[in-house]
Copies of this chain bind each other. A is one copy, B any other.
């Protein structure tokens, strides 16, 4: 057992998940525990260290075999310095995560944001395995993205590459305000939040839809209604898919990736969503730019974050 392994940390507001991967990105072992957000960064970072050591102790590997540790964190990060500038869901400001964890654990530590890490996980060992140039969308509360070029995360100049949720894509006449301060961002229509909003608005307008019977509409309710043929729900999913497909058409003539990988809760809508995304993508993309390009669901689910974090020391 002389092989090297890579340890990944998915740092969420309520749980810390840790996992060990081999050099091909196969997830060998996982564990998790409470984050302890309420006790502040010192305790949270100590928890990470403890969960990481315990994971390795209980594995078939030794601590010496751990080549590096990566962590995915939601927030504004200084990635080269390994510094959390601001993380609203952890309540952190200016926490030198890399420095503290390297002191605690004696291994090289890298951090990156959650969407980039999920993209790297899929690229390394998921739906993008073996493909050099990939663009990943994560459709959750917002729309996150990650750009993988030559198998590595591409950060751009300010670490803002892959902020796909903030492509302005909805025409002015239909555009609504986005949390980022602009209007008409992809995230306003193609996130779970956008889908829920469109569902509620349709009910408020008095549309004839089974969604009117749902107490507190969630994205899944819209998918379920669509699967029974509810026209309002189908129109909402079609609209979310149309802007996703159009945004991919744009991405294709900018960086021409070979594959789009779509994950996150909204991607669970399945074929109804993917068929429509592909239709609009084909319609809107120049023929040569779409040759050989496919749009596929993510396959790692919640493990993408751990796997991608583990991969940061190889491909960050």
Binding site for B on A (CB under 8 A): 76, 133, 147, 149, 154-164, 166-168, 171-173, 180-182, 246, 249-258, 284-289, 291-293
Tell me the nearest residue of chain B to A134, going by C-beta.
B157
Cα of A9 to Cα of B158 in the assembled complex, Å: 35
**What separation, in Å, do the CA atoms of A287 and B76 have in the docked complex?**
13
B160 touches A133 (CB 8 A): no
Given known A149-B149, A168-B284, A249-B168, contact A158–B255 (CB-CB < 8 A):
no
Let me know if B158 and A287 touch, CB within 8 A.
no
Contact (Cβ within 8 A) A158 B250: no
A285 to chain B, nearest CB (A): 8
Residues of B within 8 A of A76 (CB): 288
From B160, B164, B250, B256, A168 is in contact (CB under 8 Å) with B250
CA distance A168 to B285 in the complex (A): 9
CB-CB under 8 A from A166, the residues of chain B are: 253, 286, 289
How many monomers of this protein are in the complex?
2
Q: Which residues of B contact A181 (CB under 8 A)?
A: 286-287
**Are the CB atoms of B157 and A254 closer together than 8 Å?**
no
Known pairs A157-B293, A182-B285 / 13 extra A-B pairs, C-beta < 8 Å: A147-B254, A149-B154, A156-B256, A160-B253, A160-B256, A160-B288, A160-B289, A161-B254, A162-B253, A163-B256, A167-B254, A168-B249, A168-B250
Asked if A255 contacts B254 (CB within 8 A), the reply is: yes
Instruction: Decide: B182 and A147 in contact? CB cutoff 8 A.
Output: no
In contact, B157 and A292 (Cβ under 8 angstroms): yes
Pairwise interchain contact A253-B167, C-beta atoms closer than 8 A: yes
Task: Flag if B182 contacts A157 (CB, 8 Å).
Answer: no
A291 CA to B156 CA in the complex, in Å? 12
| Shortest Cβ gap from A163 to chain B (Å) | 4
Asked whether, in the complex, the Cβ of B133 is within 8 Å of the Cβ of A157, the reply is yes
Whether A292 pairs with B182 at a CB distance below 8 angstroms is no
Name the CB-closest residue of B to A246.
Answer: B168
Taking the closest CB of chain B, its distance from the CB of A260, in whole angstroms, is: 11
- Please pick, from B156, B173, B254, B258, the residue contacting A133 in the complex, using a CB distance under 8 A: B156
Cα-based distance from A287 to B284 in the complex (angstroms):
28
User: Contacts A163-B286, A171-B172, A286-B163 known; A255 to B292 CB distance under 8 Å?
Assistant: no
* Known contacts A249-B168, A250-B250, A256 near B289 by CB under 8 Å: no
Q: Which residues of chain B have C-beta atoms less than 8 A from A149's C-beta?
A: 149, 154
Report the Cα distance A251→B181, complex, angstroms: 18
Set of chain B residues within 8 Å of A173, measured between Cβ atoms: 171
Give the distance to chain B from A255, nearest Cβ to Cβ, in Å. 5
- Residue on B with the closest CB to A170? B171
* A160–B284 touching, CB < 8 Å: no
Among B253, B285, B293, contact of A164 (Cβ-Cβ < 8 Å): B253
A253:B286 contact, CB within 8 angstroms: no
A133 proximity list for chain B (CB < 8 A): 156-157
Expressed in whole angstroms, the Cα–Cα distance for A158 and B246 within the complex equals 19
